[in-house]
Chain A
């Protein structure tokens, strides 16, 4: 557990009397026993001041294209090539740059995007690749590296803000490898309080009103006592399971307050029409809404629909236009709200898809040469980085692995990509390993 202790800055969303009251009550519970104070420090730890001053207020939306979309049908079309598939390409607002004809709206705002066409990674199975592209490193048991969302929630977010700092929106409870990944420990060594709040589909927020007979004060006092007892136990039971359990109670009050934010029906009808009607669009809109109201990292997933081992083109004809519309509206909305400068939008899956078609009209897993896109905060807009060869079989220019991608993303968000974690009893770990350098060409 990192042990920095520091002053707390409050932004407008999380400030105010109510916040202070919440904090007071919380402290009342936790500081009652002096013996347990030491272990609570991390709860209020914030990043080193210099970094925080620079990075505070920055946030990130990840459109997680789980299952892995085809680069040929999105960012890196190869029309008329044997690998090109049936779709053609169209020009974009960037002279000389073409993308798939399935993305006309996005083509019109390519000058706001930052696209990488030369991703090249190792794992070719979903679970391992999802793990790699969310955490940034291969696993090294028994140590669990936090996913990017947890890192951002901790180093950019504010733990005692009632709005959850890290939200996963996903309507699909199933999902093979993604389900298995969702069941894994996301926050890793940062501690469960930096894990995601999950919402979408069957994950409704229930039990968000006070039990009958308890007023706000009673409810808080009771929780303070619970927290005191529980943390005493956690003091000499360091298991992640215990941490995880305690951390959910720390979120209860915030969630009760933030619950209306999750009500899709409260969003403007006109907005819902632009983003919807599919759940992916609705959740992308909700992500915008949450970011506007104080969340730091929102990951929008939609099951793992992109894993098109069968009927690749027949499925991409539907999925890509939806994605096209979502990117267009999200980036434009953030621009209109003057939020794009502080908000990083990431659009990616865990790898790409094969240049060649399988017998079932599908494209299979392909980590060797694939594409991803970004927009906003700290990035140079209108850049297309790297290239693949004429058939999209291999990266022909400026290959990029996940380490340099993560370094670039962290730097864009104002975080030191190579910060060393302070983890007693652990071997040394850095935010990004092996001193992988951020890509200057991508950074503003």
Chain B
């Protein structure tokens, strides 16, 4: 179904009014009413219509989210959990926004702060910090290009890709511009050269590019449409797969004095693809939502001639730019304003903050995977586009919602798709590593934050917004017996543990300090007794007992997850 033009101010306000009154009434008599169904319904099939995002900008997305989720809780007769307490909130927001646990002094100052707006203030402060840019760039790098080895990570960094992402986040560049930079790979200024790496990393393999572009920027996995129309999501056609390939099959990696670049030929790239039955079809320039670019195909067998006048770039330049550039056409006529561009990013950032996409898994926005809150996703996507693809605003909105700030503690299994409790999220490799470093304060930090260590960790814990977090024994063995972990959690290498040991404080206060530093909370009575006796019963090996207690805390589930 097409997105409706009715999705404009009056209709929207109608919806909001409806939601508000629903929230205000909240009576039993309307519990059974599915109020959200009065919002214009759109299926999740990728589709396009003109001016689809022409809707008001200025309504607070956090409020819309709260109203929509509260409505769905009522509809499904779910009781949301209690609000997260200040410590839990603080740890959560630090991990999500800057990728590490808060330091004890940061926690103390937050607790001591009496400003009623202190949560929002802290959210804003974190979002504007450099640490946020570093953290989110790592997340985006893992999503957009993926885990790799040391050599590749070195090249990726040298090419300026990581810096590009960091700067884009730091300056809060609109997401559609970032997408454009990455897919056009023709930086308007040398400082953005690093964006080229997105295509360059695919080593001249247009199919790999197509599969990545579709997943990363449109939230749709098209891989299995290579050989036939998608068997489960009929809107994903084989012609979309090969169409997307065609947009990138004239591109070629080149190395310029400015760095890695992607040249484009003015000719070639015409071919046909055949399905399993052997029927062949021309690979026209078309993608999801039937966004199509017309191009004259040479007659069958006719030989195209490559001539200088077909190019904008000067003859002899390494990174050639044709007058008719398929990449440019893609960016201008397919990517620009494509409803999935906004939807995919909204769904992904939602999943990042909330622990699960409205469409789950995040890269399956197709008719086979129904969203849990279709109207809300549409509204948020429209709002995101209308806001100028403002990533920071979206993160800020999500962080301020009631659902985000709910407690993650639940007594019984609850279907996570309704977000009636905060979902526990595993820390990414980088978050886990950084949090450990912040807590233990190594004497020689370079030993633990080296490229090799980062790669080792990121390969052991590769997931970023995985469909489901499943731990494996390799991880258990690494955390239990691995040298790097055991060395870091040692008095010999950790300032923090040294200070603890030397403080001559009582075992109880030592345990309290450990808990504050690692779990951002004091131990409860039971924990205190258990840990205290662990240390006091080993007077002849006190150092080792302290290390073991620290290890037990840092390898506990509470440390492993953002909850």
Output the residue of A203, A228, A358 with the most chain B CB within 10 A.
A228
Q: Is the CB of A209 within 8 A of B481?
A: yes
Kindly state whether residue A440 has any CB partner on chain B within 8 Å: no
The chain A residue with its CB closest to the CB of B478 is A207
Kindly state whether residue B115 has any CB partner on chain A within 8 Å: no
Q: Is the CB of B557 within 8 A of A230?
A: yes
Q: Is the CB of A211 within 8 A of B467?
A: no
What number of A residues sit within 8 Å (CB to CB) of B? Answer: 63
Which one of B259-267, B386-394, B408-416 is at the interface?
A: B408-416
Q: Is the CB of A241 within 8 A of B472?
A: no
Which one of B286-294, B311-319, B524-532 is at the interface?
A: B524-532
* Chain B residues within an 8 Å CB radius of A18: none
* A252 touching B473 in the complex, CB below 8 Å, given contacts A226-B555, A242-B424, A359-B278: yes
Chain B 181-224 interface residues, beta-carbon cutoff 8 Å to A: 223-224
**Binary per-residue interface labels of chain B (459-493) against chain A in the complex, 1 for a CB within 8 Å, 0 otherwise:** 00000001111111111111111110010000000
Output the residue of A185, A203, A238, A425 with the most chain B CB within 10 A.
A238
Chain B 248-291 interface residues, beta-carbon cutoff 8 Å to A: 274, 276-278
Chain A 264-280 interface residues, beta-carbon cutoff 8 Å to B: none
Kindly state whether residue A223 has any CB partner on chain B within 8 Å: yes
Kindly state whether residue B563 has any CB partner on chain A within 8 Å: yes
Kindly state whether residue A443 has any CB partner on chain B within 8 Å: no
* Chain A residues within an 8 Å CB radius of B481: 207-211, 252, 256
Which one of B139-147, B161-169, B499-507, B545-553 is at the interface?
A: B545-553
Measured in the bound complex, the distance between the Cα atoms of B469 and A345 in whole Å is 31
Q: Is the CB of A211 within 8 A of B424?
A: no
* Chain B residues within an 8 Å CB radius of A208: 477, 481
Q: Is the CB of B476 within 8 A of A252?
A: yes
* Chain A residues within an 8 Å CB radius of B409: 236-237
The chain A residue with its CB closest to the CB of B274 is A359
* Chain A residues within an 8 Å CB radius of B426: 241, 245
Measured in the bound complex, the distance between the Cα atoms of B413 and A111 in whole Å is 49
Kindly state the interface size class of chain B when it binds its partner: 35 or more
Kindly state whether residue A27 has any CB partner on chain B within 8 Å: no
Measured in the bound complex, the distance between the Cα atoms of B409 and A239 in whole Å is 10
Kindly state whether residue A392 has any CB partner on chain B within 8 Å: no
Nearest CB of chain A from residue B410's CB, rounded to whole Å? 6
Kindly state whether residue A142 has any CB partner on chain B within 8 Å: yes
Measured in the bound complex, the distance between the Cα atoms of B469 and A184 in whole Å is 9
Nearest CB of chain B from residue A26's CB, rounded to whole Å? 14
Q: Is the CB of A205 within 8 A of B410?
A: no
* Chain A residues within an 8 Å CB radius of B477: 205-208, 252, 255-256
* A198 touching B472 in the complex, CB below 8 Å, given contacts A142-B415, A358-B278, A364-B276: yes
Kindly state whether residue B423 has any CB partner on chain A within 8 Å: yes
* Chain A residues within an 8 Å CB radius of B563: 233, 237
* Chain B residues within an 8 Å CB radius of A309: 227, 276
**Binary per-residue interface labels of chain B (538-563) against chain A in the complex, 1 for a CB within 8 Å, 0 otherwise:** 00010010001101110111101101
Kindly state whether residue B417 has any CB partner on chain A within 8 Å: yes
Q: Is the CB of B478 within 8 A of A228?
A: no
Output the residue of B232, B415, B466, B477 with the most chain A CB within 10 A.
B477
Kindly state whether residue B457 has any CB partner on chain A within 8 Å: no
The chain B residue with its CB closest to the CB of A164 is B473
Nearest CB of chain B from residue A283's CB, rounded to whole Å? 17
* Chain B residues within an 8 Å CB radius of A185: 468, 470
Kindly state whether residue A438 has any CB partner on chain B within 8 Å: no
**Binary per-residue interface labels of chain A (351-362) against chain B in the complex, 1 for a CB within 8 Å, 0 otherwise:** 000000011000
Measured in the bound complex, the distance between the Cα atoms of B119 and A254 in whole Å is 45
* A245 touching B561 in the complex, CB below 8 Å, given contacts A218-B548, A230-B556: yes
Which of A32, A198, A255 is the one whose CB lies under 8 Å from B530? A32
Nearest CB of chain B from residue A439's CB, rounded to whole Å? 31
* Chain A residues within an 8 Å CB radius of B413: 238, 424-426
Measured in the bound complex, the distance between the Cα atoms of B467 and A177 in whole Å is 14
Q: Is the CB of B530 within 8 A of A33?
A: yes
* A228 touching B474 in the complex, CB below 8 Å, given contacts A211-B481, A238-B410, A241-B468: no
* Chain A residues within an 8 Å CB radius of B278: 358-359
Which of A176, A197, A212, A245 is the one whose CB lies under 8 Å from B557? A245
Q: Is the CB of A233 within 8 A of B551?
A: no
- Name A residues whose Cβ lies closer than 8 Å to a Cβ of B: 32-33, 35, 124-125, 128, 142, 176-177, 183-185, 192, 195, 197-198, 203, 205-214, 218, 221-223, 225-226, 228-230, 232-234, 236-242, 244-249, 251-252, 255-256, 309, 358-359, 364, 424-426
The 23 listed contacts between A and B (C-beta, < 8 Å) are: A35-B526, A142-B415, A183-B467, A184-B470, A205-B473, A211-B483, A221-B534, A225-B530, A225-B534, A229-B552, A229-B556, A230-B556, A236-B409, A238-B410, A238-B412, A239-B416, A241-B424, A241-B468, A241-B469, A242-B424, A309-B276, A358-B276, A359-B278
Extra contacts besides A198-B472, A211-B483, A240-B468 (10): CB < 8 Å: A142-B415, A142-B417, A177-B224, A197-B473, A211-B482, A222-B551, A228-B552, A242-B561, A252-B473, A358-B277
Q: Closest 3 interchain pairs by CB?
A: A248-B476, A241-B469, A226-B552
